[in-house]
Amino acid sequence: MNADYVIVGAGSGGSAVAYRLAESGKTVVVVEYGGSDAGPFIQMPGALSYPMNMARYDWGMQTEPEPHLDNRRLATPRGKVIGGSSSINGMVYVRGHARDYDHWAEQGADGWSYADVLPYFKRLEHWHGAQDAGTDTSWRGTDGPLHISRGKRENILFDAFIEAGGQAGYPLTRDYNGEQQEGFGAMEATVHKGERWSAAKAYLRPALKSKKVKLLRGLAARVIIENGRARGVELADGKRVMANAEVILAASSINTPKLLMLSGIGPAAHLAEHGIEVIADRPGVGGNLQDHLELYLQYATKEPISLFKYWNLWGKAYVGARWLLTGTGPGATNQFESCGFIRSAAGIDYPDIQYHFLPIAVRYDGQASAEGHGFQAHVGPMRSKSRGTVRLKSADPSAAPEIRFNYMSHPDDWAEFRAAIRLTREIMEQPAMAQHIKHEIQPGAAVADDAALDDFIREHVESAYHPCGTARMGRRDDPQAVVDSHGQVIGVEGLRVADSSIFPRITNGNLNGPSILVGEKMADHILGRTPLAPSNLEPWINPNWQVSQR
């Protein structure tokens, strides 16, 4: 089997690349180990806690024992299905902050400043939020493949949370994905007409319909490299798929570095341990691993106003039946409909704490609080200084890699999390929220001093499932860089990476939007096109950031 291009991974980055290559007339084979995304658990936004806990759709990976979290092993879900993690995620759409991309450019990712990436965000978006946000669409795209919408905020707690942020002295933002991220406002989601709008729907299916793209089920075992050039991909069953032009890896920030190492690209000593011939000694492969951690602060409500009324057999049956029959109701939203981005201290120039607000007190695994009616605010720092690694456990391609995030290994992480908890409590004390609160469920009012908060963090902190950074983009003379600013693997011809592995540093917020951006922009580099013209729009930075926390 052969094509102009072979892409490994049918997730956010890979699907976007496949779509753009097909659009330009190229032939593509996409290698994907996972299966179909058909079925209500993936397609119904309100069922989001199910697919990431189902072996059918998730790779089922977990970390090594994390030494700073009492040696807990944390789940590391990654989508094993067409659409990749965009088919099992929480559907929240966040571009990241303008400063994130300017930092990328400063770190050697030339051509990836905010001015450079904004036109690509606009190209990928089909934004439905203009009516809610106001009519200024100069920051947003309105005819791209990815549908982005806002929930109706029918539950009174959504707007109460936004109002409380304003009462606490924070700015309000009409569109955190537009000119001003900082502040409280409506959250956006990759939901369209009551259904999850994954990369499979936005990009892969249209690409397959063009007949230029073929989907091949199989486990990629290694990149075939001859005389320093990638020629194709070998599958675990021995099949080979050859590329006339290039091979593109978009297998996730966990599986892409694994595949690079299995192919002889990575830290030489580590590859030698596993008997793998070194083709390119790139010490940065599998390093620089980053993630967002979060806690949820849970509160019991005085009145029965939360989604808990549906948290029983009859309620779930009603939600499911209504969604199946009409595409409406609580099942038609991910329930993350309001949010906040704030700065934790004066002297920080752009937000470093994110909130997702949810009008029910429930864990990611679907376990509701024993308290009954309540709500929760997911909160976490955005730019942890901790760094981890992805390493091979074995040269067997079917073996899971060794994942070590080294969560909370930097002392600043603890101070940032304590600040996040205390700032959240202050927001909840504002009149708009306080009127609804019976008491704090978790951590509980008694958990107040630094030591008690640290114990709570150590025991309860969870991944927000935003791993990235393991094949860092940078200049070719940077020994820790894995790919250059065009996604080309340094030291091998004809091989690129187009997923969240390339992030030099994690972006503010959820990573699905930035991962699709990478696929969109890399497609132009692959095709040798002149990049879209940079934007001259100036994002809002709080004018008092040097002297004021809000």
Q: SS in 3 state form for 116-138?
A: HHHHHHHHHEEECCHHHHCCCCC
71 among annotated binding-site residues: no
92 is in an annotated binding site: yes
In DSSP notation, 270-303 reads: HHHHTTPPPSEE-TTTT-SBB--EEEEEEEEESS
The token pair that represents 160 in the structure block: 């109460």
CB atoms within 10 A of CB 63: 21
- Tell me the two tokens of residue 38: 């058909």
Do the beta carbons of residue 239 and residue 218 sit within 8 Å?
yes
Nearest to 329 by CA among 45, 115, 89: 45
Dist. CA 166–CA 87, nearest whole Å:
34
- Alpha-carbon span 352 to 85, nearest angstrom: 24
Q: What are phi and psi of 259, to 5 degrees?
A: -70, -40
Of 147, 292, 356, 466, catalytic: 466
Q: Was 90 annotated as part of a binding site? A: yes
DSSP secondary structure code for residue 78 in this structure: -
Host H or E run for residue 419: helix 411-428
Q: Helices 114-124 and 98-106, interaxial angle, to 10°?
A: 130
Residue 473 labelled as part of a binding site: no
Helix, strand, coil percentages in the chain from 3-state DSSP, rounded to 5: 30, 25, 45
Q: How many CA atoms lie within 13 A of 528 on its CB side?
A: 4
Beta-carbon contacts of residue 329 (< 8 Å; ≥ 6 apart): 318, 319, 322, 323
What is the C-alpha separation between 409 and 404, in angstroms, rounded? 11
Respond yes or no: is residue 466 known to be catalytic: yes
Sequence-separated (6 or more) residues with CB below 8 Å from residue 447? 453, 455, 456
Name the residue type at position 187.
Answer: M
81 a known binding residue?
yes
Closest CA to 304 of 371, 374, 369: 374
d(CA 98, CA 103): 9
Q: Which residues are annotated as a binding site?
A: 81, 89-92
- Residues annotated within the binding site for FAD are 81, 89-92
Catalytic residue list: 466
